[in-house]
Structure 1
Amino acid sequence: MNFDALDSQAREIIQRYDQPRAAMLPLLWLVQAELGHVPAEAEFWVGRHLGVAVSHVREVVSFYSMFRTTPGGRRELRVCTSLPCLLRGAGDVLTRIQDQLGVRAGETTPGGELTVTAVECLCACEIAPMAQLDEQFVGPLDEPGALESILRDALRPATFAPLGGAKAGEPGDACHEPEPFISTAGPVLSTRFGNADGTWFDAYVESGGYVAAKRALSMTPAQIIDEISQSNLRGLGGAGFPTAKKWSFIPKNSARPVYLVVNADEGEPGTFKDRYILERDPHALLEGMIVATYSIGSHKAYVYIRGEYFRSADRFNRAVQEAHAHGWLGTNIQGSGFDLDVVVHRGAGAYICGEETALLTSLEGGKGFPKLKPPFPAISGLFHCPTIVNNVETLACVPFILREGAERFARLGTSTQGGTRLFSVCGHVQRPGLYEAPVGVSLRELIEGHAGGVRDGRTLKAVVPGGISAKVLTASEIDVQMDFDSLMAAGSMAGSGGVIVMDDTTCMFEALQSASKFFAHESCGQCSPCREGTGWVYRILNRIAEGKGRPQDLDDLLAIARDMEGKTICVFADAAAWPVQSYITKFREEFDAHVRIGTCPARSREVAACQP
């Protein structure tokens, strides 16, 4: 193919970035939108535009799961198989899809209509079991007739853009918008979540929008950072580091450009909070970004949005255009003399890019490899310049603080963490959904009060309180507050606020097997303890599942997990080790029985009960 027709678009994309190489993923997306995949000749074209070797382009393409190097079907159905969906029957759903279409995961139907792909978490756990048909999330797929309707829609004759394109055509009646429970009561983050079509500029301003940004532009950066400090706002991406302290690390009067990078690469299984901010209240994030950039002396911000979040990126782009049109972005914002440019950058399917230094490496046009710290990003981050990386939810809290006052925000929380947060609750609950609650809410109240308790009258067995990386808690450990410090004291972590609930039908061995599959798949492979350890754990668990377990296997798993902790550049290996340690330790008898019997003990009892 002659790529000359794409040259003008490529040049326009490259101009958005401070270094050409950073346009790597956008150019690859451009090619895939045009052709449906990235052929070898396209890699030469991208390399020529960016001034990099084709070998570098090739390793980037191979690193990210959403780029295809061979043609696929006219449409693609990505079926989520991670733990939250597994708990709701994803295994059966995938089997039904394969049986009805006559193809296996990774294959395309004979007529070239549909490629079926089994993927790790899509972060739409509130509609589990779910899938993504082209750009649209569909689910729950266990509702009567839902799967059959979706497959009919996927196979129906129509003219669609190539796989991975910007638009996938008009959805059929199968692609109805799911209606999980989404909090709208606020007071901080969810007050504008009621409109599923999004809150746009006029409505945002009518509800108090940009008041905080206007106030901030009349303050000094030091005054803003002091107010954020008094609010006790902590980073809500998982680490829980005090936000104001992070901002204060930027060197004063830096001779190099200062950047704000927004981490919207939400990929932690069990978590789906940032997506609702991006889609339903994008101006709240933009307003928080204006305050943050002004406070740290930055005039350029990059928003790194997860590749699977097609609609999120589209809607946030619309908000950016609105803000430009109304003088809240660009040069001389509202006559203040402050300039700010925002670039929306899409990832391409790599969970590791949620780690802040891996995100920066990816944004610079490389594989998502984490970097050694120190130096920390505030000193040497994006393009080796001072950089602050903040999560979407963290920045969305900032307008409330500047508008309503730090004291009010602080009062909503605990003595060490202010405010509320968005809790993603999924798994075996009556009402999966997104709940805003004070950070001091108990885990019991979230499950039994907000989410309606365990479904079908079953008994609670275990809970993951902060996304799949968090150590599991038993039913007797849920009387704990959901702030960072309380959950750490309880032996787990608040993490991303993703609450995965498991009832007494859950096989904890299978749950760990699913979690370990995720970590083995998502390890970037840079550090040996992580690359080898995650694969080793998953292989041992698979062997046990095949009935070939050995008495020493469980102790070996614990030893491998122990040897992974603290031995790598980033905490991914630690996050992979924690489920192994907590699941086996807290449910040892169940794991021992799995090894001894050679199959799931719960299923063995079911089979025995059916014998004459």
Structure 2
Amino acid sequence: MVRSPMTPEDDQHREKMRLLDEVIDRYKDSPGQLIRLLQQAQEIFGYLPEAVQCRVAERMGLPVGEVAGVVSFYSLFHRQPKGKHSISVCMGTACYVKGAPEVLSAIKKELDIDLDQTTADGMFTLTDTRCVGACGLAPAIVIDGEVHGRMKAADVPALLASYRNRSDHDERDVHITEDREEKSPIVASPIGTIEDLTASRERHAARFFQRLSKEQLSKLPDFASVAAAPSTSRQILVCAGTGCTSSRSVELRQALQRELARCGRDQETTVVPTGCFGFCELGPVVVIHPERVFYCQVDPGDAKEIVERHIGQGEVIERLLYKHPPEGASRRTIDENEFFHPQHRVALRNCGVIDPEDIDDCLASGGYGGLAKALTALTPEQVVDEVTRSGLRGRGGAGFLTGRKWAFTAAAPDSPKYVVCNADEGDPGAFMDRSILEGDPHAVLEAMAIAGYAIGARQGYVYVRAEYPVAVHRLEVAIDQARQRGLLGEDILGTGFSFDIELRLGAGAFVCGEETALLRSVSGKRGEPRTRPPYPALSGLWGKPTLLNNVETYANIPQIIVNGAGWYAAMGTERSKGTKIFSLAGKINNTGLIEVPMGTTLRTIIYDIGGGIPGGRAFKAVQTGGPSGGCLPAQYLDTPIDYDSLIAVGSMMGSGGLIVMDERDCMVDIARFYLEFTQDESCGKCTPCRIGTRRLLEIITAITEGKGEMDDLDRLEELGRDIREASLCGLGQTAPNPVLSTLRYFRHEYEAHIREKRCPAGVCAALKPKGKYRIDAEKCRRCGLCVRLCPVEAIHGEARKTPFVIDAERCVACGACAQKCPAKCIAQEGA
């Protein structure tokens, strides 16, 4: 028989299988690494064909069905080839309310494909995702891992054309790679004792203290003299969080460095990449020290002017300053900015202040001081007692007392024990955990080591979303640096305590935010929740006692240990101590990340910090707690935010997402949106969640299509209560909350959809009247009320000067303008 000659495709396949075998060899003896193995296999092949799944199963000694079950469970695994470019449209709440459906429709039209399809030329594959954690850039899409924010439907053709013309080597990736290569490697001088830790901090303290305000310095008794010492040097801090990076902050940083070198000022002025300042929508953000001048929306093209005028001549560049709404007055420094005034940063204290990829910056800020104190001045029992007396409650949603959880795990008789960090931040509209990991990853590593000492564990795991590549990279860097310096590993600080941490990447499953589902995923299984008890404190990872907290909870721990339980308990309310981070998104002027004391009112957050509603529109509702929370109307703006007060009014704290909505949002459609999310993300293990949420969605969808009946409202309430009481895990137990809260506070909108077959906000397409509206120019008083009321910005004109005109192409015929027009000069065509 004559054998056919080998083709290039055969050679390529053989090479890919060889690389796959290398990956399998790397992980086959490490427990729980099936998901990571499959992620790397997908990187090699572009997808996971059946042959690859069988090869993995055979060499790992696993049933093929187990491997196939994992592949089918997680949304980031693909069983079919994908296009050269992968487009994912974020449909998280912040993006949804700011126009993501229109952007998605434009992409479908431009490419002539639907979701989960690939173009005929193999160029693009289109998918959607529930949240990419870039809420400050809403609406956002991700192409090949690159986030494009503030998208409009009109931007789609040009953006897709740029990818069609792009070479295989992505120019943006080159910039990021070069930027990382420019950083000098950390010199691994081991920190073997407390004295070494103190000496390292003192060596780098001056550069850190220059970035603090006088008020912040006054609260630091040690090294105050170093901090107050005059310095002729300057530091330019540039945000390198996801939001600003997506707005070209990497290029900006490089441009600043080039300009400083060109002007001969690179020895006296340092450019420092930092984590998120919190001003996500106004990035890239630049803060120049010691003046503390705060610039926003800085373009790489502004670098020359900043270096020549500000650094060279001491001039402040007015056009780059923050303008506070609604009056638009400039704020010169970060201290003058109202966005920061009500805030008190504990978990976020180093975000926007230190270089997250430089452990010396972390040490200069006091990093690992809490671990040093715990290991040398406190017994494990005393550490647990400090956490308990602080009153810290879990920041992941349920609000369980952290100290009590630690005490349960410490008392568990079995061993070994594990410490796990839940960084699977899947709530649409939530990005606080991502920002902590990007801005101060060592705070989480330090806290986990403290927890390991307190409960008697030697091993920790961080389970982080694969959709957060910047956070993953910075965690990898931080873990490596901590090991080099002896702050992770054997005999930490010469105390005999040993503790290490590994990463586990999620693969796209919202339910893995639930603790039992997460632990199954850490062990390489399908992330399906199980009944409790037993709780993870007694039987968790691999059946052993496991302490599980989320990122924000851990980020508070080092400061509690350093400053004492009483310091932390003095903040907040009687039953909700400390501070809370909120991601503020939706119809708000200052989209971003904030940290305020528990008990701060919604009004303070939305109007004082958030700057109010854009365009002078009316506030309608705020969604708290993500898909598990509720929608609260204006009557609760003065509600102090804490765990108990939110539950009392029909919502919940959740992870801390706050989505603001104005009069252009339909609350029935919002409830439908959240139900669609939870129904899609249900793991299907229990009937109340799997079937119940589907029935809820069917009923509410019929209402938005004008097919509802008044009896449906009673059905929604009854079914919602049943699902809440009978579901297995937190996802199903809280899934009806958005429906029940909107029924409670916005029942009139449901009734309008059912009785009048009308959507008051003009959102629900099936209920939009056929005839458009027009304005009688002779009767128009030119007051501008119709402009403020229009949900789709279809009315144009200049108040008090010219009659207003309705753009027939944009008009959705909702009738809002006609109902409120004082001159009664707006009428529907054909009426």
Global fold match (TM > 0.5) = yes
CA shift, 1:168, in A, is 6.6
Aligned counterparts of 2:512 and 2:34: Cα–Cα separation in 1: 15
For 1:135-534, what aligned pairs fall within 5 Å after superposition?
A: 135-142=145-152, 147=156, 150-159=159-168, 176-177=247-248, 179-180=280-281, 186-194=344-352, 198-218=356-376, 219-252=378-411, 254-534=413-693
Q: What is the DSSP-based 3-state SS (H/G/I as helix, E as strand, rest coil) of the residue aligned with 1:541?
A: helix
Q: What is the DSSP-based 3-state SS (H/G/I as helix, E as strand, rest coil) of the residue aligned with 1:566?
A: helix
Q: What is the DSSP-based 3-state SS (H/G/I as helix, E as strand, rest coil) of the residue aligned with 2:661?
A: strand
Identity among equivalent pairs (%): 39
Quick check: 2:91–2:130 contact (8 Å CA) kept in 1? yes
Q: Against the structure 1 CA distance between its residues 160 and 597, is the aligned structure 2 distance closer, same or farther, given a 3 Å change threshold? A: farther
CA shift, 1:261, in A, is 0.9
Q: Against the structure 1 CA distance between its residues 323 and 124, is the aligned structure 2 distance closer, same or farther, given a 3 Å change threshold? A: same
CA shift, 1:467, in A, is 1.9
Instruction: Identify which of 16, 19, 22 aligns with 1:8.
Output: 22
Aligned counterparts of 2:630 and 2:51: Cα–Cα separation in 1: 46
CA shift, 1:14, in A, is 4.2
**With structure 2 as the length reference, what TM-score do the two structures score?**
0.69
- Kindly provide the CA deviation profile for residues 255-284 of structure 1, in whole angstroms up to 9, marking residues without a partner as x: 421001110000011211000011111011
Aligned twin of 2:61: 51
Q: Against the structure 1 CA distance between its residues 598 and 505, is the aligned structure 2 distance closer, same or farther, given a 3 Å change threshold? A: same
Aligned counterparts of 2:566 and 2:400: Cα–Cα separation in 1: 19
Aligned counterparts of 1:287 and 1:156: Cα–Cα separation in 2: 46
- Kindly provide the CA deviation profile for residues 440-476 of structure 1, in whole angstroms up to 9, marking residues without a partner as x: 2111111111111122111111111222311221110
Aligned counterparts of 1:169 and 1:392: Cα–Cα separation in 2: 31
CA shift, 1:373, in A, is 0.6
Quick check: 1:487–1:494 contact (8 Å CA) kept in 2? yes
Quick check: 1:159–1:169 contact (8 Å CA) kept in 2? no
Q: Against the structure 1 CA distance between its residues 338 and 145, is the aligned structure 2 distance closer, same or farther, given a 3 Å change threshold? A: farther
Q: What is the DSSP-based 3-state SS (H/G/I as helix, E as strand, rest coil) of the residue aligned with 1:77?
A: strand
The one-letter code matched in structure 1 to 2:616 is G
CA shift, 1:41, in A, is 1.1
CA shift, 1:106, in A, is 2.0
The one-letter code matched in structure 2 to 1:33 is E
More displaced, 133-142 or 372-381? 133-142
Quick check: 2:466–2:508 contact (8 Å CA) kept in 1? yes
Q: Against the structure 1 CA distance between its residues 101 and 569, is the aligned structure 2 distance closer, same or farther, given a 3 Å change threshold? A: same
Relative contact order higher in (CA < 8 Å, ≥ 6 apart) = 1
Aligned counterparts of 2:666 and 2:162: Cα–Cα separation in 1: 34
More displaced, 150-159 or 335-344? 150-159
The one-letter code matched in structure 2 to 1:237 is G
The one-letter code matched in structure 2 to 1:298 is A
The one-letter code matched in structure 2 to 1:176 is S
Q: Against the structure 1 CA distance between its residues 443 and 220, is the aligned structure 2 distance closer, same or farther, given a 3 Å change threshold? A: same
Quick check: 1:75–1:134 contact (8 Å CA) kept in 2? yes
The one-letter code matched in structure 2 to 1:214 is A
Whether 1:23 and 2:33 are equivalent positions in the alignment is yes
Tell me the matched-pair count: 602
Aligned counterparts of 1:481 and 1:174: Cα–Cα separation in 2: 34
Q: Against the structure 1 CA distance between its residues 540 and 255, is the aligned structure 2 distance closer, same or farther, given a 3 Å change threshold? A: closer
More displaced, 386-395 or 101-110? 101-110
- Kindly provide the CA deviation profile for residues 342-371 of structure 1, in whole angstroms up to 9, marking residues without a partner as x: 110001110000000010111222211111
Instruction: Identify which of 93, 109, 125 aligns with 2:103.
Output: 93
Q: Against the structure 1 CA distance between its residues 215 and 376, is the aligned structure 2 distance closer, same or farther, given a 3 Å change threshold? A: same
Aligned twin of 1:164: none
Aligned counterparts of 1:385 and 1:120: Cα–Cα separation in 2: 33
Q: Against the structure 1 CA distance between its residues 364 and 519, is the aligned structure 2 distance closer, same or farther, given a 3 Å change threshold? A: same
The one-letter code matched in structure 2 to 1:523 is S
Q: What is the DSSP-based 3-state SS (H/G/I as helix, E as strand, rest coil) of the residue aligned with 1:493?
A: coil
Aligned counterparts of 1:391 and 1:238: Cα–Cα separation in 2: 9
Aligned twin of 1:592: 751
Q: Against the structure 1 CA distance between its residues 84 and 253, is the aligned structure 2 distance closer, same or farther, given a 3 Å change threshold? A: closer
Q: What is the DSSP-based 3-state SS (H/G/I as helix, E as strand, rest coil) of the residue aligned with 1:41?
A: helix
CA shift, 1:170, in A, is 6.0
The one-letter code matched in structure 2 to 1:376 is Y
Aligned counterparts of 2:585 and 2:70: Cα–Cα separation in 1: 33
Aligned counterparts of 1:602 and 1:252: Cα–Cα separation in 2: 55
- Larger-gyration structure (1/2): 2
The one-letter code matched in structure 1 to 2:26 is E
Quick check: 2:631–2:738 contact (8 Å CA) kept in 1? yes
Aligned counterparts of 1:174 and 1:405: Cα–Cα separation in 2: 36
- Kindly provide the CA deviation profile for residues 104-131 of structure 1, in whole angstroms up to 9, marking residues without a partner as x: 2222233322212122222322221112
Q: What is the DSSP-based 3-state SS (H/G/I as helix, E as strand, rest coil) of the residue aligned with 1:412?
A: coil
The one-letter code matched in structure 1 to 2:247 is H
Whether 1:34 and 2:48 are equivalent positions in the alignment is no
The one-letter code matched in structure 2 to 1:193 is C
Aligned twin of 1:611: 828
The one-letter code matched in structure 2 to 1:500 is I
**With structure 1 as the length reference, what TM-score do the two structures score?**
0.93
Q: Against the structure 1 CA distance between its residues 591 and 138, is the aligned structure 2 distance closer, same or farther, given a 3 Å change threshold? A: same
For 1:74-113, what aligned pairs fall within 5 Å after superposition?
A: 74-113=84-123
Aligned counterparts of 1:262 and 1:348: Cα–Cα separation in 2: 16
More displaced, 554-563 or 365-374? 554-563
CA shift, 1:592, in A, is 1.4
- Kindly provide the CA deviation profile for residues 235-257 of structure 1, in whole angstroms up to 9, marking residues without a partner as x: 10111111111000025474421
Quick check: 1:140–1:146 contact (8 Å CA) kept in 2? no
- Kindly provide the CA deviation profile for residues 279-335 of structure 1, in whole angstroms up to 9, marking residues without a partner as x: 111011111111111111111111100121122111111110010111011111121
- Kindly provide the CA deviation profile for residues 160-194 of structure 1, in whole angstroms up to 9, marking residues without a partner as x: 59xxxxx9766899953484269887531223221
The one-letter code matched in structure 2 to 1:212 is G
Q: Against the structure 1 CA distance between its residues 594 and 387, is the aligned structure 2 distance closer, same or farther, given a 3 Å change threshold? A: same
Q: What is the DSSP-based 3-state SS (H/G/I as helix, E as strand, rest coil) of the residue aligned with 1:569?
A: coil
The one-letter code matched in structure 2 to 1:611 is Q
Aligned counterparts of 1:196 and 1:543: Cα–Cα separation in 2: 51
CA shift, 1:416, in A, is 2.2
The one-letter code matched in structure 2 to 1:154 is Y
Alignment gaps of 5+ in structure 2: 1-12, 178-243, 250-279, 284-338, 763-767, 770-812, 819-826
Aligned counterparts of 2:366 and 2:595: Cα–Cα separation in 1: 19
Aligned counterparts of 1:473 and 1:134: Cα–Cα separation in 2: 37
The one-letter code matched in structure 1 to 2:122 is G
More displaced, 124-133 or 448-457? 124-133
Aligned counterparts of 2:412 and 2:655: Cα–Cα separation in 1: 33
Aligned counterparts of 1:599 and 1:171: Cα–Cα separation in 2: 50
Quick check: 1:82–1:514 contact (8 Å CA) kept in 2? no
Q: What is the DSSP-based 3-state SS (H/G/I as helix, E as strand, rest coil) of the residue aligned with 2:78?
A: coil
CA shift, 1:607, in A, is 4.6
The one-letter code matched in structure 2 to 1:216 is A
Aligned counterparts of 2:356 and 2:485: Cα–Cα separation in 1: 18
More displaced, 245-254 or 327-336? 245-254
Quick check: 2:414–2:545 contact (8 Å CA) kept in 1? no
More displaced, 415-424 or 37-46? 415-424
The one-letter code matched in structure 2 to 1:88 is K
The one-letter code matched in structure 2 to 1:72 is K
Aligned counterparts of 1:233 and 1:120: Cα–Cα separation in 2: 30
Quick check: 2:759–2:814 contact (8 Å CA) kept in 1? no
Quick check: 1:443–1:465 contact (8 Å CA) kept in 2? no
Aligned twin of 2:706: 547
Q: What is the DSSP-based 3-state SS (H/G/I as helix, E as strand, rest coil) of the residue aligned with 1:193?
A: coil
